[in-house]
Amino acid sequence: MKIGVDYYPEHWDRTLWRQDADLMKKSGVELVRMAEFAWSKMEPEEGIFDFAWLDEVVELFAGREIGVILCTPTNCPPLWLYEKYPEVLLTGRDGRRQKPAVRGHRCYNAPRYRERVELMVRKMAEHYQDAGNIAAWQIDNEVEAGSCCCDVCAEKFREWVKNKYDTLEAVNQAYHNDVWSGSYSAWSQIPAPVGNYPITQYNPAYLLDYQRFMSESTIDYVEFQAGILREYFPDTPITTNTWFCEHMPDFYKLFDKLDFCSYDNYPATKLPEEGYYSHAFHLDLIRGVKRKNFWVMEQLSGTPGCWMPMAPTVRPGMIKGYGLQAIAHGADAVINFRFRSATGGAEMFWHGLIDHSNVPGRRYAEFEELCRTVKAMRHMEGAVMQSGVALLCGFESEYAFRLQLQTEGFYYMEQLQAFHAAFTSFGVNVDIISQEADLSGYRIVVAPVMYVRSQKAVEQLHSFAYNGGIVMLTTRSGVKDENNNCIMRPLPADYADMTGCLVEEYDAVGNGKVAVEMDGKDYEGTHWCDIIRTECAETLAVYKEDFYAGKPAVTRNLYGKGVVYYTGTVGLPALCRKLTERMLEQAALPYRTDLPQCVEVTTWEKEGKQFLFVFNNDQTVKNCLFDGEQTELQPFEMKILERTL
């Protein structure tokens, strides 16, 4: 477990470097991440490389036994590169090449870009091969799988389609191209999705394939860099940092061949006025990507701004508390973004640990406390988190849901988040894993919105339930086949047998509320109502209004030795919590019902010891009972309790 900072020596006068390194050392910093945007400093002219400045900084850290995470600087190609090879710029959906004004606008498939990237990465890796303190490599920065529509991408996509379907007839069939006279009579007619039309006017089967192709192009680009780095650093761990954005590459495939997963963690500083907010959802999702611990490459350190009006400042307790929360969910390293706020450039108001004044203040003092606390936690390293609950996630459903918004306010990831929040409220560990991951060892599997078919996931869920597992399926499951076309069978189609019910009709209710009754009590759902007919399932909840009043809203079916729940609406928190409690009870998993709202508990084990991370994810004091004693938690305080098993 290590704490570090993101540092941009290229932004500061070199007289500050030594001073900064000394302060970091004194504070207990053990890792420094650098260079992800510094290409023009390292290759100021084509083919002329200069690493002297970075050498000096790397050595300063080496002398203080601080590990360096080096990043390939490929997120920001230098302006000379764009000027000489404009074809490396990303082309938007409007068919226009973007301008080189800001970072990140490059096409991963452009041959010239690949060529320049290869040289840059090779030179850098070669140069630092013998530096003793390279702790890890980060490839690029927050790679996204947005749509590049340049000619190279279009051509590559045609190849991709050819490889996948072999014949034009097969493509036409897979895309249902009979609609709107869309049949291809030559490969050349398969385009990149250029055009000024809303995305909703394109064929969703084709669009999902383009998104898959973009995700694979992104992954190929990352693996291409990893391959070069491995030639020089066969034993140094390699990663790339991700975040939750609109165009995420498929994380399960992205990290498959990388050594570990890393993530940029920016919890909101403005808490919701009511209700529950837990970004621990993201942390659990990231831990589940490789089903092992991860690093946080950027961690909230100061007032966010620039991309939007400034948010409230980081409240007292957040720096230490959110750092420890990340560790409680599996972070082996937390790197704070950034050591000092930039005094220039577009991001000058996205604050770091130290403000523009360069006077370390309240936040920096709290950061130093975090460093001290984490140093005293070394004996917990190697602890494992056991979870009886898996929550399934699939990027294909996420993509397809974005391509065709089902109804106002209905988002894929929020369906997972709702159940995650419910389990969290009971203090239960949750693994968020791929829909296709192995399910053995779990007692409960929650599979929200199994929208696009994965045959493997369908089969695994069936056998998990059949052999005694508890499964929760929700509305909009079994809707699409692998090609993103509707399945011509009553919903939930692939899951009809295991749920023991059929959806006769549905009602897209947008942001409206839906009254539901269960066990004589009132609950609410939203967004969607499946009007269900039970075949062999029992009815747990019914709708209370509209023309389907009295019809089942939630059902439960015995399937083999297991139990399958089906929720036909999107449960608001009380309903999700009630259903979650039923599953926990049935699975005989330990849970607690007395946790105050926003208190989160994660449990780790090592060599006969149990570590309980108890976190107050809120700005008011909370009290709760642990081991027979009242425990008081200050705002954002983490308490770590040790028990002998």
Catalytic amino acids?
Answer: 142, 298
To the nearest whole angstrom, how small is the minimum distance from the Cβ of residue 148 to Zn ion? 3
Residue 298 contacts ligand GAL per CB under 6 A: yes
Closest CA to 591 of 448, 443, 471: 443
Min CB(6)–ligand GAL separation in Å: 8
CA distance 237 to 251: 17
Binding residue for ligand GAL, selected from 30, 140, 209, 264, defined by CB under 6 A: 264
| Cβ atoms < 10 Å from Cβ of 205 | 22
Mark the segment that binds Zn ion (CB under 5 A) among 99-107, 120-128, 294-302, 413-421: 99-107
Name the minimum Å distance from CB 87 to Zn ion.
9
| Whole-Å CA distances, 583 to 285, 477, 536 | 21, 19, 19
Question: CA-to-CA distance for 465 and 8, rounded, in angstroms?
Answer: 51
DSSP 442: -
Interaction partner, residue 325 (Zn ion, ligand GAL, none; CB < 5-8 Å by kind) = none
Instruction: Give the nearer residue to Zn ion in terms of CB position, either 109 or 373.
Output: 109
CB 341 within 8 A of CB 314: no
Q: Which two tokens stand for residue 382?
A: 């190697």
301 binds ligand GAL (CB under 6 A): no
- Exposed e or buried b per residue across 22-55, where buried means at least 16 C-beta atoms within 10 angstroms of its C-beta: ebbbebbbbbbbbbbbbbbbbbeeeeeeebeebe
Query: Taking CB within 5 to 8 Å according to partner kind, which of Zn ion, ligand GAL, none is near residue 150?
Result: Zn ion
Task: Please tell me whether the peptide bond between 492 and the residue prior to it is cis, using omega within 30 degrees of 0.
Answer: yes
| Cα 11-49-116 angle, rounded to 5 deg | 100
The pattern of x and - marking residues 227 through 246 that bind ligand GAL according to CB under 6 A reads ----------------x---
Provide the 3-class DSSP secondary structure of residue 309: coil
Binding-site partner at residue 141 among ligand GAL, Zn ion, none, CB < 5 to 8 Å by type:
ligand GAL
The residue (of 91 and 580) whose beta carbon lies closer to Zn ion is 91
**CA–CA separation, 457 vs 479, rounded Å?**
14
The residue ranges of DSSP E strands in 238-322, in sequence order, are 238-239, 241-242, 262-265, 294-299
Q: State the nearest-atom distance from the C-beta of 304 to ligand GAL, in Å.
A: 7
With H, G, I as helix, E, B as strand and everything else as coil, classify residue 42: helix
DSSP state of 310: P
Q: Could you tell me the smallest distance in angstroms from the CB atom of residue 576 to ligand GAL?
A: 30
For residue 347, the partner it binds in Zn ion, ligand GAL, none, with Cβ less than 5 to 8 A by kind, is ligand GAL
Which of 30, 43, 140, 142 binds ligand GAL (CB under 6 A)? It is: 142
Which two three-digit tokens encode residue 221? Answer: 């680009």
Q: Which does 42 bind (CB under 5 to 8 A by kind): ligand GAL, Zn ion, none?
A: none
Looking at residues 407 to 466 of the shown chain, list those that interact with ligand GAL (rule: CB under 6 A).
none
Q: Can you read off the two tokens belonging to residue 227?
A: 């391959």
Q: β-strands 294-299, 262-265: how paired?
A: parallel
Q: Which is nearer to Zn ion, 150 or 326 (CB)?
A: 150
> Binding partner of residue 107 among Zn ion, ligand GAL, none, CB under 5 to 8 Å per kind?
Zn ion
Residues 6+ apart with CB under 8 A from 240: 138, 139, 140, 143, 222, 254, 258, 262
Pairing mode, strands 599-606 and 629-633: unpaired
Q: For residues 521-550, which are near ligand GAL according to CB under 6 A?
A: none
Indicate which of Zn ion, ligand GAL, none lies near residue 264 (CB less than 5 to 8 Å, by partner kind).
ligand GAL
Among candidate residues 591, 638, 636, the one with its CA nearest the CA of residue 611: 638
- Minimum distance between the CB of residue 307 and ligand GAL, rounded to whole angstroms? 6
The residues in 328-367 that bind ligand GAL, with binding defined as CB under 6 A, are 337, 347, 350
Does residue 263 touch ligand GAL according to CB under 6 A? no
Give the pairing of strands 31-34 and 2-6.
Answer: parallel
Task: Give which of ligand GAL, Zn ion, none residue 148 binds (C-beta under 5 to 8 Å, depending on kind).
Answer: Zn ion
Nearest-angstrom CA–CA distance, 8 and 226: 23
**CB neighbours (10 Å) of residue 233?**
18
Secondary structure (3-state) at 462: helix
DSSP character string of 212-242: HHHHHHHHHHHHHHHHHHHHH-TTS-EE-EE
- Interaction of residue 150 with Zn ion, rule CB under 5 A: yes
Shortest spacing between CB 247 and ligand GAL, in angstroms:
14
Nearer to Zn ion by Cβ, of 109 and 499: the residue is 109
Quick one: which segment of 62-70, 147-155, 269-277, 350-358 binds Zn ion (CB under 5 A)?
A: 147-155
Residues 82-141 that bind ligand GAL (CB under 6 A): 141
Q: How far is the CB of 239 from ligand GAL (least distance, A)?
A: 14
Planar angle of CA 68, 73, 75, nearest 5 degrees: 130
Tell me which of 153, 205, 318, 452 binds Zn ion, using CB under 5 A: 153
Contact flags string 169-208 toward ligand GAL, x per CB under 6 A: ----------------------------------------
Residue selected from 42, 148, 205, 501 as contacting Zn ion according to rule CB under 5 A:
148
Tell me the C-alpha distance between 451 and 493, whole Å: 11
Which one of 31, 69, 70, 107 is in contact with Zn ion (CB under 5 A)?
Answer: 107
CB 614 within 8 A of CB 601: yes
Binding-site partner at residue 53 among ligand GAL, Zn ion, none, CB < 5 to 8 Å by type: none
59 contacts ligand GAL (rule: CB under 6 A):
no
153 binds, among Zn ion, ligand GAL, none (CB under 5 to 8 A by kind): Zn ion
| Comparison of 279 and 556: residue with beta carbon closer to ligand GAL | 279
- By CB under 6 A, the count of residues binding ligand GAL is 9
Whole-number minimum distance, CB 261 to ligand GAL, in Å?
A: 15
What residue 439 binds from ligand GAL, Zn ion, none (CB within 5 to 8 A, per partner kind)? none
3-state secondary structure at position 364: helix
Phi/psi for 631 (5° steps) reads -115, 130
**Closest separation in Å from C-beta 337 to ligand GAL:** 6
* Total of chain residues touching Zn ion, rule CB under 5 A: 5
Residue 422 and residue 591 in contact, taking contact as beta carbons nearer than 8 Å? no
Binding site for ligand GAL (CB under 6 A): 141-142, 243, 264, 298, 307, 337, 347, 350
Residues that bind Zn ion (CB under 5 A): 107, 109, 148, 150, 153
